[in-house]
Amino acid sequence: MELSNRQEKIIEIVKENGPITGENIAQKLSLTRATLRPDLAILTMAGFLDARPRVGYFFTGKTGSELLTERIKKFKVFEYQSVPVVVKEQASVYDAISMMFLEDVGTLFVVDDHSYLTGVLSRKDLLRASIGKQDLDALPVHIIMTRMPNITVCRKDDLVVDAAKKMIDKQIDGLPVVKDAPSGLEVVGRITKTTITKVFVELVTENRV
């Protein structure tokens, strides 16, 4: 988060003199208390300053990057997940390839007749199947997919940063967001490397600290 000159000055004053009242900060800057109110509100909300009634403002001791880290660590999967694209186990590799183009995704999730997760198909899984001499129309995806229980998943209340770590550790591009159902996992969303890129850009452009 980018601070204005005046906000930087306020932090310095509070660092040196805190706890200090808003009135006294205003005096030191030769401004009115009312003029400072928005700045004090921003600095308090962002976590740089803390305010105690009848005592005044004091410096929390947290740096901008510490506050940014704290903020990022609160991002939950459900806030950022996108719609999952699924195919049935019996779908052909040809259909899966068409689906991948049509839906413009890099990972498809495979489900059984009860809509429970049974596998994952990546671009390279489909490429690998395509360079053989097989009839892609007759080859069902369950033959070539990565299957349960070897699927790495996440849940809606997981932290985005933990989902990102799983993708790095397993060297994969996406995770299904799943919901526990009586006899399997229902696919309710997806988190991909693109999601993480979006979060990163949003942090910079929207100053979401």
Of 14 and 185, CB closest to ligand ADP: 185
DSSP letter at 201?
Answer: H
The site map against ligand ADP for 129-158 (x = CB under 6 A) is -----------------x---xxx------
Contact 123, 193 (CB under 8 A): no
Could you say whether residue 186 binds ligand ADP (CB under 6 A)?
no
Contact 49, 43 (CB under 8 A): yes
Peptide bond into 38 cis (omega under 30): no
Please, what is the minimum distance in Å from the beta carbon of residue 151 to ligand ADP? 4
Which of 95, 112, 173, 186 is the binder for ligand ADP (CB under 6 A)?
173
Could you say whether residue 107 binds ligand ADP (CB under 6 A)?
yes
What are the DSSP calls for 176-203, one per residue?
EEEEEETTEEEEEEEEEHHHHHHHHHHH
Could you say whether residue 172 binds ligand ADP (CB under 6 A)?
yes
Site for ligand ADP in 15-74 (CB under 6 A): none
> Can you tell me the distance from the alpha carbon of 178 to that of 183, in angstroms, rounded to the nearest whole number?
13
Please, what is the minimum distance in Å from the beta carbon of residue 202 to ligand ADP? 23
Q: CA angle, 200 as apex, 6 and 171 as ends, to 5°?
A: 150
Binding residues for ligand ADP, rule: CB under 6 A, are: 107, 120, 122-125, 146, 150-152, 171-175
